[in-house]
Amino acid sequence: MTPDAGRTDAVRRHDPELRGFASDNYAGVHPEILAALALANGGHQTAYGEDDYTRHLQEVFRAHFGPRAEVYPVFNGTGANVLALQTLTERWGAVICADGAHINVDECGAPERVGGLKLLAVPAEHGKLTPELVEREAYGRDDEHRAQPQVVSITQTTELGTCYTPGEIRAICAHAHERGMTVHLDGSRIANAAATLGVPLREFTTDAGVDVLSFGGTKNGLLFGECVVVLNPDAVRAMKHLRKLSMQLASKMRFVSVQFEALLSGELWKRGASHANAMARRLEAGARGVDGVEILHPVQANAVFAALPHDVAERLQKRYRFYFWDEPAGVVRWMCSYDTTEADVDSFTAALAEEMAQSP
């Protein structure tokens, strides 16, 4: 029996024209990704990554990251980060990261509780580590009383919307490798970074010395799924076993893999990220024109961080969805996505100006 194509008993329960500035995760699935999912549907394919789409995905990623790259699709970003860090650490291992890193503040302790490792967080201006900051925690070799620093984890773009240059990443990787550590890059918004820098993906990953990468897709139009990309196979251990142990082995993996094929085989990854970045720059320019609004960090990708009166932010939230980043300080975060329009941005900044004008 063949199911009826296109038939469903589901009911649309949201306004498809409604967009906000809370997160690029709020955006729907890009139409080209939906088309790819439909293409991969129908018939039977071997489960657990032995399908034709996942096999071909190795070639897709190697075109971007080099011939040694190995890709492992997973369900989500937290799973990608925890799995990547597990493959790089021993039971007594520690990971040096920025204090605002997603692995430190937004993953419910998963790297430590599930991954079984210690995080050594360092205060970092604009969310960016440097070799000097890494050195603050890169000590205690052979001291059995201290978790051993084995990995440096950086985020590109950072949680504060800033971007490492290829040279900055090369310096961190060289410093880490000189001290016997490896480097993990959390690339949940890696496409936004490449679009900002105007360079190939491998220039600030493989060529810079990064060992393992968490490659994000859901913030750039995918339905679900991320990938762990091993750039230096000599640095990891037991990847396929740890993926299963970490509950990140998808049975119908073809539906994760085909999305990344659609994203990376052409220019879709760059088009979506470039547009989101452009909308953030437009939003920044509009917000800077409103008296009393302060932009706090360089806008180098698709995020804008601002400080404004608490009452203004609360009133504005009733009109548009967005989050406080530091509520006591009145700091908010506005995110743009691949489907944010110029009209969305202009309407938002007009509303911001209206609410600021009402503030005493």
DSSP string, 250-312: -TTTHHHHHHHHHHHSSSHHHHHHHHHHHHHHHHHHHHHTSTT-EE-S---SSEEEEE--HHH
Residues 169-182: what's their mean pLDDT? 98
Dist. CA 163–CA 314, nearest whole Å: 29
Query: What is the tens place of the pLDDT at every residue in 120-152?
Result: 999 999 999 999 999 999 999 889 999 999 999
Q: For the chain, give the percent of residues with pLDDT over 90.
A: 97
For position 6, what pLDDT does the model report? 74
Token pair listed for 212 = 């393992």
For position 75, what pLDDT does the model report? 97
CA distances from 108 to 22, 103, 246, 340 (A): 20, 8, 15, 29
For position 2, what pLDDT does the model report? 58
Task: Give the chain's end-to-end CA distance (angstroms, integer).
Answer: 67
Instruction: Flag whether pLDDT at 282 surpasses 70.
Output: yes
Q: Evaluate the CA torsion angle 176, 137, 84, 188 in order and state its sign.
A: negative
Three-state secondary structure call for residue 66: coil
Dist. CA 223–CA 31, nearest whole Å: 10
- Quick one: which of 294, 306, 251 has its CA closest to 44? 251
Query: What is the tens place of the pLDDT at every residue in 312-334?
Result: 999 999 999 999 999 999 999 99
Dist. CA 16–CA 13, nearest whole Å: 9
Query: What is the tens place of the pLDDT at every residue in 2-51?
Result: 566 678 999 999 999 999 999 999 999 999 999 999 999 999 999 999 99
Query: What is the tens place of the pLDDT at every residue in 236-257?
Result: 999 999 999 999 999 999 999 9
For position 237, what pLDDT does the model report? 93
Query: What is the tens place of the pLDDT at every residue in 71-128?
Result: 999 999 999 999 999 999 999 999 999 999 999 999 999 999 999 999 999 999 999 9
| pTM assigned to the model | 0.96
Mean per-residue pLDDT over the chain, rounded: 96
For position 359, what pLDDT does the model report? 74
For position 5, what pLDDT does the model report? 65
